[in-house]
Amino acid sequence: MSSFLSLQILAILQGLTEFLPVSSSGHLALLKQGLGLEFSGEGPLLELLLHGGTLGAVLVFYRKRIVQLLLGLWRREKEAWRYAWLVFLCCVPAGLVYLAAHDFLEEAFQTPRVIGGLLLITGLILLSLKWLPSSPQGTEGAPRWKQALGIGLAQACAILPGISRSGSTYTAARWLKVSSQEAFDFSFLVSIPLILASILLKTKDLLALTTTSGESPAAFLVATLLSALVGYGALALLARLRFLGKIWIFAPYCLLLGLLTLLFA
């Protein structure tokens, strides 16, 4: 299979699984190892580049809310600064875990059995949504700081391949009694600083990726755009399922994939 085609397949997979609660990192690792779908560039850098595409999808999907928040910060509105603080607080645990356990995380990405076990955990996390209390729907408005910290701890766990970031943060928010709509929005808004920071820290390496891989810059541009387009569609689909209260339907898939990975890894 040509490197160009491999790159576009990985871009489509990234776009689909970044937002659907099934773990994009786990899927990319399993696909590359299980099917031999490798790309000649450096794996982590390539995945970070594709994350840039899904970051664009989040920015477009939440463009109105992001502009409103930025204007509020510019005008020094108290509520806007409080929300920005909550987003920052939610990102701190993930940043600390990455700095403290970077080598372990890299090894986990190369171990299918670990990924399979973590996919089982993701399935159980999603399945727990079936047992949420039916009455109260959750507090409206931005989460409180303790709720934001709890969501941040869930996001930190999702650094592991096989743990869905969107699934774990949304589920944690709902169990912490954040309203369904705010839990969904906050879950994706807090991903923006983490992805953006990762890209900025690796900008020099990302620019050099076309040289080390031998692939043309146009191929990377197509892959990034493809990841963004597919990601936007996946995010819109998940928003619809959230409205219907059906996010838990991805649990059987994660449980099955995790079990198969453990059996055949």
* 94: pLDDT strictly greater than 80: yes
* 106: pLDDT strictly greater than 50: yes
Mean pLDDT value of segment 69-86: 95
Q: What is the dihedral of CA 161, 165, 168, 171, to 10 degrees?
A: -160
Element (DSSP H or E) covering residue 136: none
* 125: pLDDT strictly greater than 60: yes
Q: Give the distance, in angstroms, between the CA of residue 264 and the centroid of all CA atoms in the same chain.
A: 26
What the block records as the tokens of 104 is: 């372990």
Alpha-helical (H) ranges within the chain are 3-19, 24-34, 43-61, 63-74, 78-100, 102-108, 112-127, 145-157, 165-175, 180-189, 191-201, 203-213, 217-244, 251-264
pLDDT band at 257 (very low <50, low <70, confident <90, very high): very high
* 217: pLDDT strictly greater than 90: no
> What per-residue confidence (pLDDT) applies to 238?
94
* 136: pLDDT strictly greater than 60: no
Mean pLDDT value of segment 172-187: 94
Mean pLDDT value of segment 218-230: 87
> What per-residue confidence (pLDDT) applies to 195?
85
40-76 burial, b for 16+ CB within 10 Å, e for fewer?
ebbbebbbbbbbbbbbbbbeebbeeeeeebeebeeee
d(CA 208, CA 145): 40
The residue among 5, 67, 11 whose CA lies nearest residue 231 is: 11
pLDDT band at 126 (very low <50, low <70, confident <90, very high): very high
Report the SS3 class of residue 75. coil
Q: What is the pLDDT of residues 17-68, one digit of tens each?
A: 989 999 988 888 887 776 555 554 445 556 667 788 889 999 999 999 999 9
Residue partners of 243: CB distance under 8 A and separation at least 6: none
Mean pLDDT value of segment 230-239: 94
* 223: pLDDT strictly greater than 90: no
What the block records as the tokens of 203 is: 């900008």
Whether residue 230 contacts residue 56, with contact meaning beta carbons closer than 8 Å, is answered with no
Percent of the chain topping pLDDT 70: 83
The larger pLDDT score, comparing residue 141 to residue 256, is at 256
